[in-house]
Chain A
Amino acid sequence: MNLAKKSATACLLAIATHLCSAQTPTTPAQISAAQKSTAATPTLPASPFNRTTVLLDPAHGGSDSGSRISDSILEKDITLALAFKLRSLLAARGFTVVMTRDSDAATQADTPNPLTLDDRAGIANRAHPAACLLLHATAAGNGVHIYRSELEPIPNEVNGTSWLTAQAAWVTQSEKLQKLLGQALTRARVPLVLSRASVRPVDSLTCPALVVELAPKGSDSSSLTNESYQQHVAGAIAAALVFWQNQAQPPVRLAPLPTTPTPKKGVQP
């Protein structure tokens, strides 16, 4: 009786296992179209590039207060204060500064709608600036953290690239700008972290773009609101941008590749 029951269970198990393994997909990965030669691709005239324009994006604003640094200190206020300091320093050095917001609330032009991250990227891309700095602040770590996109660099800008990977052609430039800012801040004896991160909307920017995060001077997070600390960091960044305006080199633009029919993946019910 018991034996019969057991063998029946074993049979059922065997059948179930067989069914499961039969469902495992066995289709091989479809290999994406091979990299095409770009020799025959016509280059487009370079897009406008304003060497003396810098875009500053004081992150957050309005109902998005960003990181809560303490009960009375909000990230959105620090990013705006740092942006104002940078703007006056850069303006004094002959730069045109475009800001995504210059008051607490970040709204779309002439409407009360809050500014989305994509809207901010749009403002940046239309300005064709020599540098885009997305300003953040945090209570974690110390000094200044500078991040570039995690996208793999591509040599040329292909007209009609995806919104989410538009930065890829500019990553090499962003990396050079990151090094330059790093050197300037090191000279200013500010502790530094240089790395890569996925923070929207950096991947959609068509300019040398960096996320600049201001962290406390030491372990005391109230130093974030310290005027002289902010001024010190802004001064080092502004000095680096003066060097940068002559080094920046926009990538070559290529006409779009002839569209190849992509194999349809998966079953679309």
Chain B
Amino acid sequence: MISRHQRIVFWCLVGCILAMGTLLFVERQRARDRIVALADATPLDAPYSTTESVTLDLANDSDGSITATTRPIALPGEVTARARALLEHLLAEYALPGSPHPLQSGAAVDDVFLLPLPLVGHSGGTTAATSTLIASNDPNALQPQNPGGELAVINLRSSFVNAHPSGVEVESLTLMSIIGTLHTNLPQIEQIRFLVDGQPRETLAGHADLLRTYPSKDTTARAETSVAP
């Protein structure tokens, strides 16, 4: 016959075993969740660096000038995302009230593609429009000046282009501001082309040529003289 206190000890031990088992199971579950969470490296947001001092080449309609201005901006590290974010910040400056080169607010740049130069294996597209994207009469076009030179293709949104003010000065200032800003911040870009909603377009708003390949260069202080009214 088992004594009563032996039975109590037995059931106590059984209780302890069950409690420890449950604790073990819960802890194991938690540890597994933690490891799964660590292993899940799906990028949900572009990895933004901390704010850095970025040079934007800002246009001014009243004297036709382009002035380098630094702004504290957080930009992603990846180069095409960086180019796109740079241009969005630049064009957003022009939508601010009191801008010296007023443009409509809203998203302006759909994508920026960076293609290594020289472009090889290209051919005329199925339509004349797509072949003019790549074809150029200049034998030096689409050839790199330095090894690692890239062609930037900037795909603008039609909503931005259709709302752009029309005029030789105002249109060419927008292009020069974009070109100068890319030149300053991404020196590997040597040549720049523009598309609108993925298609070549003749002009920005009736004047500035959007079909040609622009060399990436410093565009600050382009206007040579101006006098106060």
Which A residues lie at the B interface, using CB under 8 A? 24-25, 27, 29-30, 32, 60, 64, 66-68, 75, 136-143, 145, 147, 162, 164-165, 182, 186, 189-200, 211, 213, 215, 217-218, 262, 265-269
Which single member of B117, B118, B168, B227 contacts A136 (CB below 8 Å)?
B168
Q: In the bound complex, do residue B167 and residue A213 qualify as a contact, i.e. CB atoms below 8 Å apart?
A: yes
Q: Give Cα A75 to B222, complex, Å.
A: 25
Q: In the bound complex, do residue B169 and residue A215 qualify as a contact, i.e. CB atoms below 8 Å apart?
A: yes
| Closest residue on chain A to residue B138 by CB atoms | A165
A-B contact count (CB 8 A): 134
Q: In the bound complex, do residue A194 and residue B208 qualify as a contact, i.e. CB atoms below 8 Å apart?
A: no
Q: Does B38 contact A (CB under 8 A)?
A: no
Known: A32-B140, A200-B209. A192 touches B227 (CB 8 A): yes
**Which one of A162, A197, A267 has the greatest number of beta carbons of chain B within 10 Å?**
A197
Which B residues lie at the A interface, using CB under 8 A? 61-64, 116-123, 137-140, 143-144, 165-170, 172, 202-203, 205-209, 212, 214, 222-229
Nearest CB on B from A144, distance (A) = 10
Nearest CB on B from A134, distance (A) = 9
Q: Give Cα A78 to B197, complex, Å.
A: 32
- Chain A residues positioned under 8 Å from B120 (CB to CB): 25, 27, 265-267
- Chain A residues positioned under 8 Å from B123 (CB to CB): 266-269
- Chain B residues positioned under 8 Å from A186 (CB to CB): 225, 227
Q: Give Cα A142 to B62, complex, Å.
A: 6
Q: Classify the secondary structure of A's interface with B.
A: loop
Q: In the bound complex, do residue B165 and residue A140 qualify as a contact, i.e. CB atoms below 8 Å apart?
A: yes
25 contacts between A and B (CB under 8 A): A25-B120, A27-B120, A32-B139, A67-B166, A67-B167, A67-B205, A136-B167, A140-B61, A141-B61, A141-B167, A145-B169, A147-B172, A165-B137, A165-B138, A194-B226, A197-B169, A197-B172, A197-B208, A199-B209, A213-B169, A218-B229, A266-B121, A267-B120, A267-B123, A268-B123
Known: A29-B117, A67-B206, A193-B63. 10 other contacts (CB 8 A): A29-B144, A32-B143, A66-B206, A143-B226, A147-B169, A147-B172, A191-B226, A194-B225, A265-B118, A266-B119
Q: Classify the secondary structure of B's interface with A.
A: loop
Nearest CB on B from A197, distance (A) = 4
Q: In the bound complex, do residue B139 and residue A75 qualify as a contact, i.e. CB atoms below 8 Å apart?
A: no
Which single member of B140, B212, B228 contacts A198 (CB below 8 Å)?
B212
Q: In the bound complex, do residue B206 and residue A195 qualify as a contact, i.e. CB atoms below 8 Å apart?
A: no
| Closest residue on chain A to residue B60 by CB atoms | A141
Closest 7 pairs (CB-CB, A-B): A138-B167, A193-B64, A67-B166, A140-B170, A198-B209, A197-B172, A141-B61
Nearest CB on A from B116, distance (A) = 7
Which single member of A24, A141, A265 contacts B170 (CB below 8 Å)?
A141
Q: Give Cα A82 to B209, complex, Å.
A: 24
Q: In the bound complex, do residue A196 and residue B222 qualify as a contact, i.e. CB atoms below 8 Å apart?
A: yes
Q: In the bound complex, do residue A191 and residue B227 qualify as a contact, i.e. CB atoms below 8 Å apart?
A: yes
Nearest CB on A from B61, distance (A) = 4
| Closest residue on chain A to residue B100 by CB atoms | A141
Q: Give Cα A75 to B226, complex, Å.
A: 23
Q: In the bound complex, do residue A267 and residue B64 qualify as a contact, i.e. CB atoms below 8 Å apart?
A: no
Q: Give Cα A191 to B166, complex, Å.
A: 20
| Closest residue on chain B to residue A163 by CB atoms | B137
Q: In the bound complex, do residue A193 and residue B169 qualify as a contact, i.e. CB atoms below 8 Å apart?
A: yes
- Chain A residues positioned under 8 Å from B225 (CB to CB): 182, 186, 192, 194
- Chain B residues positioned under 8 Å from A30 (CB to CB): 118, 143
Q: In the bound complex, do residue B121 and residue A267 qualify as a contact, i.e. CB atoms below 8 Å apart?
A: yes
Nearest CB on B from A263, distance (A) = 9
Q: In the bound complex, do residue B223 and residue A195 qualify as a contact, i.e. CB atoms below 8 Å apart?
A: yes
Q: In the bound complex, do residue B139 and residue A193 qualify as a contact, i.e. CB atoms below 8 Å apart?
A: no
Nearest CB on B from A159, distance (A) = 17
Q: Give Cα A262 to B120, complex, Å.
A: 16
Known: A138-B167, A139-B167, A141-B167. A25 touches B116 (CB 8 A): yes
Nearest CB on A from B131, distance (A) = 11
Q: Give Cα A218 to B207, complex, Å.
A: 22
- Chain A residues positioned under 8 Å from B61 (CB to CB): 140-141
Which single member of A162, A265, A268 contacts B137 (CB below 8 Å)?
A162
Known: A189-B227, A192-B226, A262-B139. A139 touches B212 (CB 8 A): no
Q: In the bound complex, do residue B168 and residue A138 qualify as a contact, i.e. CB atoms below 8 Å apart?
A: yes
Which single member of A139, A143, A189 contacts B165 (CB below 8 Å)?
A139
- Chain B residues positioned under 8 Å from A75 (CB to CB): 166
- Chain B residues positioned under 8 Å from A162 (CB to CB): 137
- Chain A residues positioned under 8 Å from B208 (CB to CB): 197-199
Q: In the bound complex, do residue A138 and residue B170 qualify as a contact, i.e. CB atoms below 8 Å apart?
A: yes
